[in-house]
Copies of this chain bind each other. A is one copy, B any other.
């Protein structure tokens, strides 16, 4: 007998992965949490039935959400990650020597707890002395922060369940206030094949708040359509105008300084979404 987990990524389409065993399953205060060992992608974190991260392909998302804004900012010292309880973005943030402090605000402490247990190579850096882990509501944390952060990354789930507030214009306004005068912000903004309206709407909202707004993509096999988008809002620095000498050497498996710029070159049907 073989056991397969199927995620319906749309009403009519999905992915299916063979499960060697279930490591943990729990209804937390915020969502259904499943940690399973898959045969193809290693350990996999699933929230409300949606794949969040896997050992095999996690590097793409974590590198691309972290390094693009961090290399856009010339001297990021104080960084905030909203969500991201698996710790993968924090791990990448700490690769930048300018970073003095990285704050993680994750609403669901159980995500942190079971990521540490079953995804240690992703969550391991949450113990670093530069990291401040807070189990708290990211929306509220943003609302009470003012001119504090150089870079803010929103590593949220889909805009259903606990993350629904993180896809509103009010939230982006709060982020702008929480950032310093030259701050940079990035959010994951789903895929253009099944959620094109979301990309259009978020881009429009972010553009009304930030003078520089850009969209970039990365390939993530376990995410719907395999093509993921990220929206950047920036007060001063353009991610497309990072000078060559700004890129320092960094250990990555996906991100490169050439890809930093190429990732913003969009397929026509994607660029049409943000015209």
List residues of chain A with CB under 8 Å of any chain B CB.
6, 10-18, 38-41, 56-57, 60, 193, 217, 219-221, 225-227, 252-256, 258-259, 261-262, 265-269, 271
Contacts and interface: CB of A to CB of B under 8 A. Distances in A.
Contacts of A254: 267-269
A253 to B, nearest CB: 5
A60 B220 CA distance: 17
Given A259-B267, A265-B259, A12 B6 contact: no
A15 B13 contact: yes
Contacts of A227: 219, 221, 226
B12 A14 contact: no
A256 B268 CA distance: 7
Contacts of A265: 256, 258-259, 261-262
Contact of A40 (B13, B221, B252): B13
* Centre residue among A13, A15, A217 by max chain B CB count within 10 A: A13
Contacts of A219: 217, 219, 225-227, 267
Give the oligomeric copy count.
2
A43 B38 CA distance: 31
A41 B57 CA distance: 25
Contact of A193 (B6, B13, B57): B57
A7 to B, nearest CB: 9
A60 to B, nearest CB: 7
A41 B224 CA distance: 13
A262 B270 CA distance: 15
A61 B10 CA distance: 22
Nearest to A193: B221
A36 to B, nearest CB: 12
Given A14-B17, A259-B267, 8 more contacts: A13-B17, A13-B41, A221-B226, A226-B227, A254-B268, A254-B269, A255-B268, A259-B266
Contacts of A10: 40
Nearest to A258: B265
26 contacts: A12-B17, A12-B38, A13-B15, A13-B16, A13-B41, A15-B15, A56-B193, A57-B193, A60-B267, A217-B219, A219-B219, A219-B226, A220-B226, A221-B226, A226-B227, A252-B268, A253-B267, A253-B269, A254-B267, A254-B269, A256-B265, A256-B267, A258-B265, A259-B266, A259-B268, A262-B265
Contact of A262 (B60, B226, B252, B262): B262
Nearest to A221: B225
Contact of A16 (B6, B220, B267, B268): B6
